[in-house]
Amino acid sequence: MQNIVVVGFHKALASAITGVADLLGLAGVSWNRIQGEEPERLFNVRIASPDGEPIRCINGLMLGAHMSYDQITSADALIVPSIGGVFEEVLANAAPTLELLRRADRNGWVIAGNCTGNFLLAEAGILDGRSATTHWGFKEQFEQRYPKVDLKADQLITRDAHIYCAGGGLAWFDLGLHIIERTEGFEVAIQTAKAFVIDYRRDSQLTYSLMRLAKPHKDDLVKDVQAWLDEHYSETVTVEALADRFNVSKRTIIRRFNSALDMPPNTYVQSIRIEAAQKLLEETERTVDVVMNDVGYDDASSFRRLFRKKTGLTPTEYRRRFSRRF
């Protein structure tokens, strides 16, 4: 069971705490009940506050805490909810929260901030030099206050190493579903989305849909190649051409990919193509052959073989099972 701690603080947005706690707490439970199967709790969700006492959310609701920050000795993930109050006031009184986030960063725990809660991550300094997002309405304020952060406010979800950020408002459920997918797999995530009757993978950007593919790493060359492939995966791509484009030898690029991602470049390209095909099958009415062409394949038998190898299903079976038109 994954241990998740929601970081509570005064003037937080209540729904960003209770909503994600319900979503994670009922993963493996609600869907199983609907299907007449034995419920299986997958996440142990606890709320922490600076001193273990209840917090007063921005709507006046008092939420009890299971523990204090000091009692958090380990966690599979910390979730930081949205700031509901005036940023300056919350940040001025956030010293315990900031220290907790710095400790979590030093320990390499997964940290997931939602919406304006990402101001706390930036205030703690753990987003310096990293990619992040926040509510679109506070983009300029965030950029002015935290110039060292690589803000991508047009993205709903960002990830840099072990730190995830979600954009505005109800993006906590996107964040929660990705935590479920990251730890329990795609099928459990989409089952949870169906049980809660919410859309999954709302953002059309490929980097968002491919979050579960690539593990965190610090190899700048591989990151640059990944960023280029995110935009050009449907083109004819060879290892030799990639090596030439990034001015390294074929041997070097293969070695660096194997070290950073546990796979060579050609396998990575296949994987992101199949992931892109999954998304198109889930969200569009395009025929399987059109999807195949859109992601860079022209050999139907090869495409279907690779798709089945990765997903365990044919493209048609996958669409029937995971299409949003459920």
**pLDDT tens track for 206-244:** 333 344 445 567 899 999 999 999 899 999 999 999 999
Measured between alpha carbons, how far is 186 from 318 in angstroms, rounded to an integer? 12
**pLDDT tens track for 71-88:** 999 999 999 999 999 999
CA distances from 321 to 3, 69, 135, 277, 318 (A): 30, 42, 33, 14, 5
**pLDDT tens track for 176-187:** 988 898 888 878
Q: Residue 32 in 3-state DSSP?
A: helix
**pLDDT tens track for 126-158:** 999 999 999 988 999 999 999 999 999 888 888
Measured between alpha carbons, how far is 316 from 239 in angstroms, rounded to an integer? 31
pTM: 0.65
- Closest C-alpha to 30, from 183, 189, 172, 171: 189
**pLDDT tens track for 155-209:** 888 889 899 999 876 788 888 988 898 888 878 888 898 888 876 655 433 333 3
**pLDDT tens track for 74-124:** 999 999 999 999 999 999 999 999 999 999 999 999 999 999 999 999 999
Beta strands in 110-173 (DSSP E): 110-114, 131-132, 150-151, 157-160, 163-166
What are the phi and psi torsion angles at 4 (to 5°)? -115, 135
Sign of CA dihedral 241, 302, 305, 204: positive
Assess whether pLDDT exceeds 70 at residue 326: no
